Amino acid sequence: MGKIYYVMGKSATGKDTVYKKILEARPDMKTVVLYTTRPMREGEQEGVEYYFSTASCLEEYRSAGKMIESRTYQTVQGPWTYATIDDGQIDVQTADYLVIGTLESYGHLRAYFGSESVVPVYVYVE
């Protein structure tokens, strides 16, 4: 059975660096692409950085019970939602995964997949 290794920590602790280093050392690990309602930025690609979606599409996932977690930030361009969706990307029976996110989103993944499947990797810097 696989595991979901979940990298998290406060801002500017080096989470992205740790995440990239783990992927370099373990190229066999799979990653998870999140969904977002924010506009695509120059150089980004659909399905690589995010799945760029609409609020109504995310609501359909929520109604279908496929939304694992979501968080919405109020920006100067309006609300932007980021979400982890059970869309078939994650199969803990067959692979290990590396995910980066917030403590709150970790809690939701752990509740959804079970504590035996989700391993916290908390980056802490004094």
- pLDDT tens per residue across span 7-26: 999 989 999 999 999 999 99
Separation between Cα atoms, residue 55 and residue 38, nearest integer Å = 10
Separation between Cα atoms, residue 53 and residue 30, nearest integer Å = 22
- Residue position matching structure tokens 């609409």: 54
Separation between Cα atoms, residue 113 and residue 92, nearest integer Å = 8
At 70-116, the pLDDT tens digits run: 999 999 999 999 999 999 999 999 999 999 999 999 999 999 999 99
pTM above 0.85, yes or no: yes
- Residue position matching structure tokens 């982890």: 84
For residue 80, what is the enclosing H or E element?
strand 78-85
